[in-house]
Chains A and B, each alone.
Chain A
Amino acid sequence: MSSFWSANLPKIGQMIAAIAIFLAVLGAIFFIAGRANGKKQKPIAITIFLGPALVLLTFGLVGPAIKTFLFSFKNSYSTKWVGFRNYQWIFTDPDMRIVLRNTILWLVITPLITTALGLILAIFLDRMRRESIAKSLIFMPMAISFVGASIVWQFVYNFADPSQPQTGLLSTIVRHLGFSPTNWILTQPLNTFLLMVIFIWVQAGFAMVILSAAIKAVPADIVEASALDGASGWKQFRSVTFPMVRSTFIVVLATMVVTTLKLFDIVRTMTGGNFGTSVLSNEMYSEVFVRFDTGRGSAMAIVLFVMVLPILIYNIYNLRRERSIA
């Protein structure tokens, strides 16, 4: 046990030291800069408040993004310009076609189902008894890592030879229903949909929680007034509640699309991208870190970026409108 502490205490010490230095530097800067007054105060404040974030973003995201863009037109070792060859490969290679098809399937199906399910749950949950318990249970997978989730779902999708007893939940249920189970994870294209189920399982709670708060923010008197006017059930939902949560619905939907595009862990840990389940973000990682082809990997990143661009533009458009109203 003593060797355990001699190996691990220095790590904790390192962490405490890093935090202490960080806070001390910040405190010192605040103290000194706070003395400044007059005309200089504002530029100094801007530099100190915004500077660190901008420097980190420049080196962490902006610079790499530009670099990636340039790399996408170069060969695998970035030594020669190759024009659009990497892009051409993405759109013509037969294996890449499957990857693109999967990415689009993911993009179209999962955000919609997840957000719609979140909305239905939020509506059904609203003012239900023991609302918070049900909410916690449904939200719980959000706290589980995708690595953990993949182990969890192995016990659902596991398949054994028909002569053996089944230990997978899905196989057992299917067998009790009188059908014979197949090897779920190997069956194309079913396996992609089975991976989507995991995504929905993880993310639906998030959509539910956000939409639930939006529903609670609808003023009760509006709902009551519409009830007095004779609107009920579906009509009331369609003409009163939904219009009031529409903007939240779209924000959640957009967030889900971005999360779907960055999706990496589920595919990586469940199938490693094999058996026709790969998506762009996983393929990109394999290309760069396994096959060491920076050119192709970068081109995939740019394709991914272009796919999310419309959502981004739409979001910024909405954001600007909201800000000009406020």
Chain B
Amino acid sequence: MSILNRTRTPKRAAKGLAESNPGRKLLGSKFATITVWTIAALWTIPTLGIFTTSFRDKKDIVTNGWWNIFIHPHLTLANYHAVFFGDGQSGLTNGVLPYFINSLVITIPAVLFPITIATMAAYCLSWVKFRGSDFIFFFIFALQIVPIQMSLIPLLQLFTGGVHLGTVTLIPKLGIAGKFAGIWLPHTMFALPLAIYLLHNFISSLPRDLMEAAHVDGASHFTVFRRIVLPLSVPAIAAFSIFQFLWVWNDLLVALSFSAGTEGIEPVNAKLAGLVGTWGSHWEYLTAGAFVTIAVPLIVFFSLQRYFVRGLLAGSVK
């Protein structure tokens, strides 16, 4: 928890401390500052490239580089118009909005479900001690390295055929392939190992006295979870929610495997990946489409980054 307080060091104090920062003294603080801003600029230029291209005319895009926009500004919104409303000839007759809604419908539950289930599991593994709880924790931690590609086929089989052991049906076919539930479920499963690990870091560092006092007062685990653990874990939950949001929104693998070709549920990112193939040289649409797809995670990230860093680190950095 000490990190949380330290990151909020008042600005004036920070200036005073500058002299005692060994890193910046390493090569002179001017050198450090120049390096940082150079890298920041290098990191921004590629994105700036497609942002400007998305406002350029089709002809300009193929005849000269995007940086010419600063010399001969000639801007158009036609690309965005085509992407939003369709232009008849592109692979996007109804525009990008239906896929946008698909993305939202996929992402919101795919954030909420795993976070809820992971918070419950993390509380159980930190505060409801039982034999084997340590083993389960390490086992879940280890599952992080299972490549998701391994799970895709067995999950598709589960959705379409159920699970059988010999002739005994363990689970009947779920029949959710090609439906939203068929994407929510894999995302929820794949998110759990990391979510449980990070939330466990946070929840296990909550003060022990608080839990014990509540139990002495006769509170059940359910009451403790709802009244103490949930409210106190908001920073960690918020941080992981942002992480999971970015992950699901930007995901291609799960989307390709569980929604490919199903027009009604395909998210915008998978659609965009498909358009790279079919639009090929239509850079004017691709850049506008890409920027529309990027905009949502960028907004989420910039408006919530404060919580992201703070909550993700609490309890994990020593």
A248 neighbours in B (Cβ, 8 Å):
317-318
Neighbour of A210 across the interface among B14, B223, B313, CB < 8 A: B313
B168 neighbours in A (Cβ, 8 Å):
none
Interface residues on A, range: 35 or more
Whether the Cβ atoms of B120 and A49 lie closer than 8 Å is: yes
Whether the Cβ atoms of B269 and A145 lie closer than 8 Å is: yes
Q: Would A147 and B293 be within 8 Å (CB), given that A50-B124, A169-B45, A288-B149 are in contact?
A: yes
Whether the Cβ atoms of B24 and A124 lie closer than 8 Å is: yes
Neighbour of A34 across the interface among B21, B149, B181, B223, CB < 8 A: B223
Measured CA separation A33–B223 after assembly (Å): 11
When A and B form their complex, what is the total count of cross-chain residue pairs whose Cβ atoms lie within 8 Å? 359
Measured CA separation A49–B123 after assembly (Å): 8
Residue ID in chain B nearest A58 by CB atoms = B189
Neighbour of A137 across the interface among B22, B44, B293, CB < 8 A: B44
Q: Which of A57, A123, A234 has the most CB of B within 10 A?
A: A57
Q: Would A155 and B50 be within 8 Å (CB), given that A49-B120, A148-B272, A269-B273 are in contact?
A: yes
B20 neighbours in A (Cβ, 8 Å):
220, 223-224, 227
Q: Would A241 and B23 be within 8 Å (CB), given that A50-B125, A124-B36 are in contact?
A: yes
Considering the complex, which residues of chain B in the window 13-31 have a beta carbon less than 8 Å from any beta carbon of chain A? 14-15, 17-18, 20-27, 29
Considering the complex, which residues of chain A in the window 255-313 have a beta carbon less than 8 Å from any beta carbon of chain B? 258, 261-262, 264-265, 268-269, 281, 284-285, 288-289, 294, 297-298, 301, 304-305, 308-309, 311-312
Whether the Cβ atoms of A45 and B46 lie closer than 8 Å is: no
Interface residues as binary, B292-317 with A (CB distance below 8 Å gives 1, 0 otherwise): 01100110111001000100110011
Whether the Cβ atoms of A146 and B220 lie closer than 8 Å is: no
B189 neighbours in A (Cβ, 8 Å):
56-57, 59-61
Q: Would A165 and B63 be within 8 Å (CB), given that A155-B46, A201-B46 are in contact?
A: yes
Q: Which of A4-12, A88-96, A99-107, A177-185 contacts B (4 or more CB under 8 A)?
A: A4-12
Interface residues as binary, A19-33 with B (CB distance below 8 Å gives 1, 0 otherwise): 100100010001001
Neighbour of A4 across the interface among B44, B98, B130, B184, CB < 8 A: B98
Residue ID in chain A nearest B245 by CB atoms = A143
Whether the Cβ atoms of B155 and A213 lie closer than 8 Å is: no
Whether the Cβ atoms of B298 and A140 lie closer than 8 Å is: yes
Q: Would A217 and B36 be within 8 Å (CB), given that A14-B180, A241-B22 are in contact?
A: no
Whether the Cβ atoms of A217 and B23 lie closer than 8 Å is: no
Whether the Cβ atoms of A64 and B155 lie closer than 8 Å is: yes
Interface presence of B226 (CB below 8 A): yes
Neighbour of A141 across the interface among B7, B47, B128, B269, CB < 8 A: B47
Interface presence of A37 (CB below 8 A): yes
Q: Would A247 and B180 be within 8 Å (CB), given that A49-B121, A148-B294, A237-B22 are in contact?
A: no
Whether the Cβ atoms of A60 and B186 lie closer than 8 Å is: yes
Chain B residues within 8 Å of chain A by Cβ, number: 132
Neighbour of B150 across the interface among A121, A261, A298, CB < 8 A: A298
Interface residues as binary, A227-266 with B (CB distance below 8 Å gives 1, 0 otherwise): 1000111101100110000011001000000100110110
Q: Write the nearest CB–CB distance from B39 to chain A, whole angstroms.
A: 6
Measured CA separation A313–B287 after assembly (Å): 43
- The B interface, classified by DSSP as helix, strand, loop or mixed, is helix
Considering the complex, which residues of chain A in the window 171-206 have a beta carbon less than 8 Å from any beta carbon of chain B? 172, 201, 204-205
Neighbour of B101 across the interface among A12, A48, A169, CB < 8 A: A12
Whether the Cβ atoms of B117 and A56 lie closer than 8 Å is: yes
Whether the Cβ atoms of B221 and A37 lie closer than 8 Å is: no
Residue ID in chain A nearest B66 by CB atoms = A155
Interface presence of A322 (CB below 8 A): yes
Q: Write the nearest CB–CB distance from B312 to chain A, whole angstroms.
A: 8
Considering the complex, which residues of chain B in the window 114-141 have a beta carbon less than 8 Å from any beta carbon of chain A? 116-118, 120-121, 123-125, 128, 130, 134, 136, 138, 140-141
A-B contact pairs, 14 of them (CB 8 A): A11-B265, A22-B116, A30-B226, A48-B222, A124-B35, A140-B47, A143-B297, A144-B297, A169-B45, A215-B23, A234-B26, A261-B147, A284-B149, A312-B142
Name 20 extra pairs, CB < 8 A, besides A12-B104, A155-B49, A316-B142: A4-B98, A7-B98, A11-B101, A42-B221, A49-B221, A54-B136, A57-B143, A60-B151, A60-B188, A127-B14, A127-B15, A127-B21, A140-B47, A143-B298, A147-B290, A148-B294, A209-B309, A213-B313, A264-B253, A289-B257
B-to-A contact residues, CB < 8 Å:
2-3, 6-7, 9, 14-15, 17-18, 20-27, 29, 32-33, 35-37, 39-41, 43-47, 49-50, 53, 61-67, 94, 97-98, 101-102, 104-105, 108-109, 112-113, 116-118, 120-121, 123-125, 128, 130, 134, 136, 138, 140-155, 158, 163, 171, 180-181, 184-186, 188-190, 192-193, 196, 220-223, 225-226, 246, 249-253, 257, 264-265, 269, 272-273, 276, 283, 286-287, 290, 293-294, 297-298, 300-302, 305, 309, 312-313, 316-318
